[in-house]
Amino acid sequence: MPPTALITGASQGSGKATALLFAQKGYDLVLAARQLDRLEAVAAQVEAMGQSALAVSADVGEAPQVENLVQQALERFGQIDVLINNAGICLTGSMLETTPADWQQIMNTNFWGYVQTIQALLPQFLQRHSGSIVNVGSLGGKMPLPQMTAYCASKYAVTGLTDTLRLELSSQGIHVGAVHPGLINSDFLERAQFRGADRQRLASALKAGWVSQPADIAQAIWEVVDQRRSEIVVGPAAIATEAYRLLPAPMQWLLSRAGS
Interface ranges with ligand NAP (CB under 6 A): 8-9, 11-15, 33-35, 38, 58-61, 86-89, 109, 136, 138-139, 181, 183-184, 186-188, 191, 214
Among 35, 195, 26, which Cα is nearest to 101's? 195
Shorter beta-carbon distance to ligand NAP: residue 126 or 229: 229
Smallest distance, Å, CB 158 to ligand NAP? 8
| Catalytic annotation, pick one of 114, 151, 156, 244 | 151
In the bound state with ligand NAP, the residue whose beta carbon lies nearer, of 36 and 126, is: 36
CB of 67 to ligand NAP, least distance (A): 14
In the annotation, is 151 catalytic? yes
Query: Does residue 39 contact residue 33 with C-beta atoms inside 8 Å?
Result: yes
| Nearest-approach distance from CB 33 to ligand NAP, in angstroms | 3
Q: What is the b/e burial string over 77-113, where b = at least 16 CB atoms within 10 angstroms of the residue's CB? A: bebbbbbbbbbbbbbbbeeebbeeeebebbbbbbbbb
Which residue number, 41 or 74, has a Cβ lying nearer to ligand NAP? 41
Q: State the minimum distance, in angstroms, from the CB of residue 93 to ligand NAP.
A: 16
All residues at 6 or more sequence positions from 193 whose CB lies less than 8 Å from its CB, including other chains: 89, 90, 91, 92, 93, 102
Question: Of 227, 113, 238, which is closest to residue 175 (Cα–Cα)?
Answer: 227
Who's near 203: CB < 8 A, 6+ residues apart? 189
d(CA 150, CA 134): 22
Q: CB of residue 221 vs ligand NAP: minimum separation in angstroms?
A: 10
Nearest to 86 by CA among 44, 52, 42, 130: 42
Active site positions, annotated: 151
